[in-house]
Amino acid sequence: MGALMPAAERCCAPRSTRAGRGDPSMFGFLLGATGMFATMYSTQAILPELSQAFTVSPSQAGLTISATVLMVALGAWLWGALSDHHGRRRSILLASALLVVPTAALAVVPTFPLLLACRAAQGLCMPGLLAVGVPYVGEVFTPRLAGRAMGYYTVALVVGGLVGRIGVALLTAAVGWRLALAALALLPAAGVLVMRRSLPEAPAPARSRRGLTGVLAQARSGPLLRPTVAGSALLFMFIGTFSYVTFRLERPPFGLGLGAVSLVFALWVVGGISPVAGRLVDRLGWRLVALGALGCGGLGLLLTLAAALPVIVVGLAVVATGMFSGVTAAQIGVVESAAVDRGTASGVYFTGYYVAGALGGYLPGLAWEGLRWPGVVLVGLVALGLAGVCLGAGAEPPSSRGGGPGPRGGPAG
């Protein structure tokens, strides 16, 4: 992968680089982030169609999600370290360009194993923007926009999630699943074209030059592990809640149809609160905002225990609010946690984050089978509670927050 970097720089480099000059536009970067994230869960809403097309079981069709998520967790280590050594901008452009290939190939895959291979390849490309994007936002946009910058980044991921679920489902109904999935290649392709001209250079990444020992040091870093635990617990709770609430709503006394149940994903629009969460981080610090988000998620879970459908919907909206505001805070905490090897630190965060997400799609299912919805709620509350204890136990004095590499202190070096 490293050998591809010089070629990527030649094909993607802008005619003139204006790092740090003027007000750098985030449009190209946010477009790339939206396209990258839209591909991640793009098969979630069309699993029945894939099961029928390839004559596989529903659980086998679900591998089209698991393969991608697990490769994201693995690739986060690779792309984080790569960006530390070769630069954030080059990594983001290369990953976005590479993602176009397996995404477009989905239009012609003849067998289910090749479909899984393409989905795995997508997963390996995604951390080049998803994981590298966190330190990049912290180093390029946050010094000017403060915590709002990470909030805008989170909003772009929310939009990508909606496009990947609702957009693909609608396109599948119109033109079939192959063209629907392949059409997503237009987003990262457009992102590359815009970013090669507008994406500012990040400051040279500060590196420890410790190689593997640097990676291990980040993996043991308390200041990094705390936001990692917070973000991971929120994603675990979020995926478990929204995956298994569909089972509850399809059963009596609600008896909703599949189309009506799928509208719960529209509650993702509350992710628009993320810039507000970023501003709160500027005032209160990422830890207090993350703790509040954990509490918000817990409150939302408790509301979903109600027997009235409107109260359940409100509870799900509160869960989503806690998720997106808390993840915004956690990502700022990741940037603040490391003055060097930030790409590697982001890789550690996203590895834990997406491993937790994969578990969130499975363990709450066991709770559902044994205790129905109260079991799902209980598992989510336990995860949030453990994360809250972790954050509380690692409290730092307020003076330790302002001078780091995060939204207050600006980029390191």
Residues ≥6 apart with Cβ < 8 Å to 38 = 160, 161, 163, 164, 167, 184, 187
Which amino acid is located at 105 in the chain?
A
Class (C level, CATH) for 222-337+362-394: mainly alpha
Backbone φ and ψ for 165, nearest 5 degrees, come out as -95, -65
Which amino acid is located at 187 in the chain?
L
Contact 371, 380 (CB under 8 A): no
Residue whose tokens read 């810039």: 275
| High-pLDDT (> 90) share of the chain, % | 30
Instruction: Find the length of the chain.
Output: 413
25-192 under CATH 1.20.1250.20, yes or no = yes
Tell me the per-residue pLDDT of 105-154, one tens digit each, with 9 for 90 and over.
Answer: 999 999 999 999 999 999 999 988 877 877 777 777 766 665 677 778 77
Joined tokens for residue 24:
């750098």
Q: Which string of DSSP letters, residue by residue, matches 17-80?
A: --TTSS----HHHHHHHHHHHHTTTTTGGGHHHHHHHHT--HHHHTHHHHHHHHHHHHHHHHHH
Contact 64, 47 (CB under 8 A): yes
Joined tokens for residue 41:
């869960």
Q: How far apart are CA 109 and CA 111, in angstroms?
A: 6
Name the band, by pLDDT with cuts 50, 70 and 90, for residue 258. Answer: low
Contact 363, 243 (CB under 8 A): no
Residue 261, number of CB atoms within 10 A of its CB: 16
Name the band, by pLDDT with cuts 50, 70 and 90, for residue 400. Answer: very low
Tell me the per-residue pLDDT of 17-75, one tens digit each, with 9 for 90 and over.
Answer: 333 333 446 788 888 888 888 998 888 777 778 888 999 886 677 788 878 888 888 88
pLDDT at site 9: 40
Range(s) of the chain covered by CATH 1.20.1250.20: 25-192, 222-337+362-394
Joined tokens for residue 363:
């363990």
Rounded average pLDDT over 307-315: 93
pLDDT at site 66: 79
Judge if pTM exceeds 0.85: no
Q: How far apart are CA 139 and CA 279, in angstroms?
A: 17
pLDDT at site 395: 56
Q: How far apart are CA 51 and CA 112, in angstroms?
A: 9
